[in-house]
Amino acid sequence: MKKFPVLAVCLVLASASALFYSFKYKNDNRKIDDTVRIDAGLVSGVKSETSNVVAFKGIPFAAPPTGELRWKAPQPVQPWEGVKKCDAYGPSPMQAKPVPFMVYTREFLIPEKPISEDCLYLNVWTKARPGDKRPVFVWIYGGGFTSGGTAVPIYDGEAMAKKGIIFVSVNYRVGVFGFLAHPGLTKESPNKASGNYGLLDQVAALKWVRKNIAAFGGNPDNVTIDGQSAGSMSVNCLVASPQAKALFNKAIAESGSFFMENPMLKSNNLENAEQQGIKLAEAVHASSLEELRKVPADELMKVQGRYSPIIDGYVLPEPVSQIFAEGKQNNVPVITGWNADESFVASFKKKDAYIQQIKEQYGTKAGEFLKFFPAKTDEEAARSQVKLSRDMIFAASGYKWADLQSSQGKAPIYIYYFSRKLPATADYVKYGAFHTGEVAYVMDNLKFLNRPWEPADSQLAELMSDYWINFIASGNPNSKELSPWPRYNASTKQAMVFDKTSGKQELPDWRELEFMAAGK
């Protein structure tokens, strides 16, 4: 009984802090110098003529992971003389040529060039001065752990930095270059682990932030990590990982986590992942690590298969769900959520084939399953398959995270549900509130998407980015000016629904999510 007044006072103080922060910085026109000294040397950026935000693009945070450093933990940058001009994004990580697909037009993809193994660069947007100690926001991109990069247009950090935070986006290795495990790599590692190099890149970037962000006017003790899709799963891993301890104090996970087996990205153990690595080495006729490291990147990509984070005993000593169940995670406030229509179903089964598949997979639970995902007609079966795809890949895992964290009570968690069907031409209208659709709103970057925007969209972008800014500042998305967003708990199941009209309500579809989270 005595804890409630204390909690209330803390929430009031956090809200007051967010209000003070907003008042102090949101319309502040001060700026940092265009040249900044960091641990490796001097870097210069480019100041926006309209916002006074200075962008430093392409800052190296680790040595190029090439040659002997391929498939090794990121190594320190070699210091440089003079001023390093940081006016363009560094190369994106090795991946296939970015080609638009489904609803994902160029605004969602990295530029075609440059793409390189030499990819460990980050970007900083700031309008502060050294000594301001502004909150820091670190963005981790998605792409299924096989693609992506910071140069995606909708990831531009100027609009968020204009609102008073320090915005940082980081590259990390993907595909075979970011997540290959192999017995030889495990043996040579001082940590006796291999496979999670992409996650280690993210940890190295966070260490860079801790060491250098004060020079850009940021507070190294007030860092929020945020990611979407594979970036969200990365955030989930970082919250679980002992290697990321004390490198951030808040986390946002947009559409993705590893609390459940993901049919697209099945988490693996080290032994199985090493066998996959052996097969890859055989496929390129490499009999040693030395030979494997000399194989051209394009040749590796031809035979790479699918790679993602694994339980390696070091970055992830146990499965994420087990780490949380045992209370070993980094206890930080969290925002997590998903979108109404995010699905990657390419083709749909007719109702009879769909029902038969469900009976085979769910056995005695098939009847209950079909109550949540019915198939009275072919059209209804198709709609159910869309929802099922969303729940299996994104929503049920996030729901499980929220339930577990809220029951532990050590740090608050807030859930959002993004249901705004993005305005679109006839080619794209069918995708609705699609996967990644919320990102441009969160970052107040609608200008980078060629859509028939309505006034309601601009209002929604302002609203969502304000909630995010408040959370980045204080660990609480609320402020006096905004509609209350309650912290999630399993009894009331309240969430913030973002749409043309936004507000708190009972989490949509929670019963089917609870069914899915319980497993077969």
Catalytic residues: 229, 342, 435
Query: In the block, which residue shows the tokens 């932030």?
Result: 209
- Rounded to whole angstroms, how far apart are CA atoms 225 and 247? 9
- Rounded to whole angstroms, how far apart are CA atoms 233 and 226? 10
**Helices and strands counted in the chain (H then E):** 17, 16
Q: Which of left, alpha, beta for 444 (phi over 0: left; psi -120 to 50: alpha)?
A: left
- Token pair recorded at residue 258: 């590893």
What does the angle CA 389 – CA 393 – CA 399 come to, to the nearest 5 degrees? 110
Q: In the chain, what are the helix, strand and coil shares in percent, each to the nearest 5? A: 40, 15, 45
Nearest one of 460, 431, 441 to 449, comparing CA atoms: 441
Q: Locate the DSSP E strands across 174-271.
A: 218-228, 250-254, 268-269
Cβ-in-10-Å burial (0-12, 13-18, 19+) of 165 comes to buried
Omega of the bond leading into 130 within 30 degrees of 0 (cis)? no
* Residue 471 CB coordination number (10 Å): 26
What does the angle CA 326 – CA 265 – CA 121 come to, to the nearest 5 degrees? 90
Residue type (1 letter), 508: P
- Rounded to whole angstroms, how far apart are CA atoms 363 and 369? 10
- Rounded to whole angstroms, how far apart are CA atoms 126 and 459? 24
- Token pair recorded at residue 255: 């559409």
Radius of gyration of the chain (CA): 23
- Rounded to whole angstroms, how far apart are CA atoms 186 and 189? 5
